[in-house]
Structure 1
Amino acid sequence: MLDPARSFDIIGDVHGCAQTLERLLDALGYHRVGGVWRHPRRQALFLGDIVDRGPRIREALHIVHDMVEAGQAHCIMGNHEYNALAWETPALPGSGKTFVREHTPRHARLIDETLEQFAQHPGDWHDFLRWFYTLPLFIDAERFRLVHACWDHSLIAQLRAQHPDGRIDPHFVQASAVSGSFAATACNRLLRGTDMRLPGGLTLTGGDGLTRAFFRTKFWEEDPQTYGDIVFQPDALPEEVARAPLSHSQKNALLRYAEDEPMLFVGHYWRSGHPAPIRPNLACLDYSAVLYGKLVAYRLDAETRVDPHKFVWVDVDRPQAGQ
């Protein structure tokens, strides 16, 4: 799938920040030629979540789509592209749902900005929805791997048996509406990651304003002992929860991406601070661009371990008063 003669620039969650994306591509040495951002020796690899939240979602999609169509990039699916498909896809009869992703206020809040920006361009939106089905849920290049949120060997092996190229179809999206189905499990795990229920019926309201009974967890920790050892999200757990010990069954239920496995690049997790590897074979490139953080890329050449000096980013400045 990937051109072995090229090096790659792996880019984290764009979320409609089209101008920031152009600044990053320029910093990486890409130039706009014939309406497409191009590099003579490199390809961009996008980790998904091009849509939702940001100020220029349609423009961002055109940049990425046009690069992919011109052979200048590849893009995998993020949970927000999947959400868009699920929002627009009617549920199977008898499922008790109208759409795969029900049109609740909570769900609408995440996609409303996208739908509003496409309100005067319905044909464009329809074309992008069709394009989302061409985005694989993962890329395994042997030396390195890409997935939006979490690499689960078992689920990816099963997915490959059904969809060898990692691309799903409308029937798969419809099947994902059934809780506990393989389709639902695969989409949730690969595109949203692993999570754990907060103890004692607790809920947390995150920085995004949404209240949740679960928290996102690491899928690589070798010997975690407490809840605090496995939390992987911007919102901290209450101190008493962070100190609470994990049970034997909770430890056994955790995934473990081993240190001797190929390099893995993910987005999704709203990191902050100075971009750096999580481990020598693991990096998250989502640094909250749409929340005035950083849009981050990793410049991948022939290395087999993540080099902390090869992260490139642009800061997203808050608009000044009156702008």
Structure 2
Amino acid sequence: MHLDPARGYDLIGDIHGCAKTLEHLLTTLGYRQQAGVWRHPQRMAIFLGDLVDRGPRIREALHLVRDMVATGQALCIMGNHEFNALAWSTPAAPGSGQQFVREHTPRHARLIKETLEQFEAYPAEWQSFLDWFYELPLFIDAGYFRVVHACWDASLIEPLRAQFADGCIDEHFLQAAAVHGSFANTAFDRLLRGTDMRLPHGMTLTSDDGFTRAHFRTKFWEEDPQTYGDIVFQPDALPELAAQMPLSESQKTELLKYGADQPLLFVGHYWRSGKPALIRSNLACLDYSAVLNGKMVAYRLDQEVRLDPNKFVWVDVDSPEARP
């Protein structure tokens, strides 16, 4: 995708239905509503996905972002929650052994609950947003910078680009994701959820959101990790015994590496906390847990080829977001 290098870009992390906070952030960035659309005279917003689920104003957030995209004021990529919504709503292909691409388990129902409830009185509108999700690319490659929701894996992005030049998938590809281990399943999982590893010796961990997991999210940029603790990248700490365990040489070899010499990369997804900061000079995560009363974060990108720690802009999420 060729973007105008003379234009500035404001990359914005996960929204999750926090529409009031998004408006506050856009105002802070110098955007103003004109003819019902948020606009900036010199800049464009790029949203990193996860507009839906969990938050109090999902419908309003979707309208705001889609209107900006439709009028050329923003771009938006797909997050795992937009994929989840499509997969929840799409019948699986015959012979897959499933009724829907994303099975209607209690856990999956809990994750999409707020979205479905907020659109209960607007079924046609919800269908129009599902259709729109197919227009959200899985990645943006602008040459000097890249955007993906969770993880940039060139071994998957190159064949994806060969099949879908604009990065936007179709229903057939979505249905293929129901087959575990398929290319579609692997691509969605890696690009939209990131890399992970199984905990050693059958260990599990229970996260703050109440889910018990046998896998944990891993860094995809660590140059010389030695232990499980060196590669963990998630809000939930590993059990101390697991964190201290050494990685095997085969595990080290299998880890994905996004090199320090690669173009700038922006991701969301990872529920960070504290003061927004670079991961390293070519990598920034912009998800700072807005829907958990954290921060909604943007990075103001101009023509720099190395990230500037002073170019983060954020607003704190406070209790008014939850009130009508």
Decide: shared fold, TM above 0.5: yes
Distance 1:7 1:199, change over 3 A: same
| Aligned twin of 2:316 | 315
| Aligned twin of 1:214 | 215
Equivalent position amino acid for 1:227 in 2: Y
| Aligned twin of 2:132 | 131
Residue 238 of structure 1: CA displacement?
1.1
Whether the aligned pair in 1 keeps the contact of 2:56 and 2:321 (CA below 8 Å) is no
Residue 5 of structure 1: CA displacement?
3.2
Equivalent position amino acid for 2:140 in 1: I
Q: Aligned runs of 1:179-258 on 2, under 5 Å?
A: 179-258=180-259
What are the Cα deviations for residues 32-65 of structure 1, in whole angstroms up to 9, with x where unaligned? 0000000000000000000000000000000000
Distance 1:243 1:54, change over 3 A: same
Distance 1:252 1:321, change over 3 A: closer
**Structure 1 residue runs without a partner (length 5+):** none
Counterparts of 2:235 and 2:323 in 1: how far apart (Å)? Answer: 30
Equivalent position amino acid for 1:147 in 2: V
| Aligned twin of 1:175 | 176
What are the Cα deviations for residues 275-312 of structure 1, in whole angstroms up to 9, with x where unaligned? 01000000000000000000000000010111000000
| Aligned twin of 1:271 | 272
Identity, in percent, stands at: 74
SS of 2:197's equivalent? Answer: strand
Counterparts of 2:322 and 2:214 in 1: how far apart (Å)? Answer: 37
Distance 1:308 1:321, change over 3 A: closer
Q: Aligned runs of 1:1-323 on 2, under 5 Å?
A: 1=1, 2-318=3-319
Counterparts of 2:165 and 2:229 in 1: how far apart (Å)? Answer: 37
Equivalent position amino acid for 2:266 in 1: F
Distance 1:321 1:25, change over 3 A: closer
Residue 318 of structure 1: CA displacement?
3.3
SS of 2:82's equivalent? Answer: helix
SS of 1:149's equivalent? Answer: coil
Counterparts of 1:218 and 1:308 in 2: how far apart (Å)? Answer: 20
Counterparts of 1:131 and 1:3 in 2: how far apart (Å)? Answer: 24
Over 4 Å off, 4+ runs: 319-323
Counterparts of 2:16 and 2:321 in 1: how far apart (Å)? Answer: 21
Distance 1:190 1:321, change over 3 A: closer
Equivalent position amino acid for 1:146 in 2: V
Aligned length: 323
SS of 1:295's equivalent? Answer: strand
Counterparts of 2:192 and 2:121 in 1: how far apart (Å)? Answer: 29
What are the Cα deviations for residues 54-111 of structure 1, in whole angstroms up to 9, with x where unaligned? 0000000000000000000000000000000000010011111000000100000100
Counterparts of 1:106 and 1:195 in 2: how far apart (Å)? Answer: 20
What are the Cα deviations for residues 141-186 of structure 1, in whole angstroms up to 9, with x where unaligned? 0100000000001100110111111110000000000000000000
Counterparts of 1:170 and 1:259 in 2: how far apart (Å)? Answer: 35
Equivalent position amino acid for 1:129 in 2: L
Equivalent position amino acid for 2:289 in 1: S
Equivalent position amino acid for 2:314 in 1: W
Residue 4 of structure 1: CA displacement?
3.1
Q: CA RMSD in A?
A: 1.3
Residue 321 of structure 1: CA displacement?
11
Residue 320 of structure 1: CA displacement?
11
SS of 1:309's equivalent? Answer: helix
Residue 202 of structure 1: CA displacement?
1.2
Equivalent position amino acid for 2:174 in 1: V
Counterparts of 2:280 and 2:144 in 1: how far apart (Å)? Answer: 16
Whether the aligned pair in 1 keeps the contact of 2:47 and 2:76 (CA below 8 Å) is yes
Q: TM-score, normalised by structure 2?
A: 0.98
Distance 1:322 1:191, change over 3 A: closer
Whether the aligned pair in 1 keeps the contact of 2:205 and 2:239 (CA below 8 Å) is no
Counterparts of 1:47 and 1:268 in 2: how far apart (Å)? Answer: 8
Counterparts of 2:78 and 2:323 in 1: how far apart (Å)? Answer: 36
User: Relative to structure 2, which stretch is displaced further, 313-322 or 73-82?
Assistant: 313-322
